[in-house]
Structures are given as C-alpha cells and as structure tokens.
Amino acid sequence: MDKIFLYGMKADTLIGVYDWEREQLQTLSIDLEIGVPEKTAHSDHIDDTVHYGDVCNAVRKSLREQRFLLLEALAEHIAELVLQDFGALSVRVRVIKPGILADVREVGVEIERTASEDNG
C-alpha cells in the first residue's frame, strides 16, 4: 500500500474540557498519512487516488463546524471522514495541541484506522 501524507496542516476548532479552552477557537496541527491503492502510481489519474487538497479542505471545514472535548474524539472524527468520504484504505491521524500546558511544547494524540475496521 502506498501513502499520501499531509504534515503540519493547521485547523481551527473549539476543543477542550475546561470552559476557558472553549471560549475561542484553538489552532491545532494535524498530520495525516493516508493509505491509497498501488494502482495510483501506475495510472497517473487523480480519480484513482485520494486528492489531498480536497482532504485538507474537508477536514478544516468539518472542524470549524464541530465541537470536541477530547483530542481522541477529534482524531477519530478525522479518521472516519477520510475513510468514509475519500475511500482511503487506511489513515493515521496525529493531532497536536501546542502550548496548552506550561513548560510543555505540545500535547497530542495519534490513532491509526483501516477501512476494514468498524469505525462506527
């Protein structure tokens, strides 16, 4: 399986368990690794792959419209979106929430899902 990746994508959303976290949008950094069929490399046709520009736009739009308490739930939401809406074979999602804790550069979560898993 081949992979497409997006590293360091910025997206804004309301996230957090504390009231002060939910008062304004926070900018997250998101890394995605998306599994695509190997035929993509041979066909040279956009319809045979996952269009990373469309993925980026869809993730940003969805996160602007959603509210989350936990990074884990946000990461699961992104994984489901990529698998269901874009037909990816697999996806690894890494979400980073920078500067949220004193003396900690960033906190985050990483999950990996495949199309064969029950994501419901």
Active site residues: 97
CA dihedral 57, 59, 110, 76 (to 10 degrees): -160
Element (DSSP H or E) covering residue 104: strand 104-114
Number of Cβ within a 10 Å radius of residue 22: 15
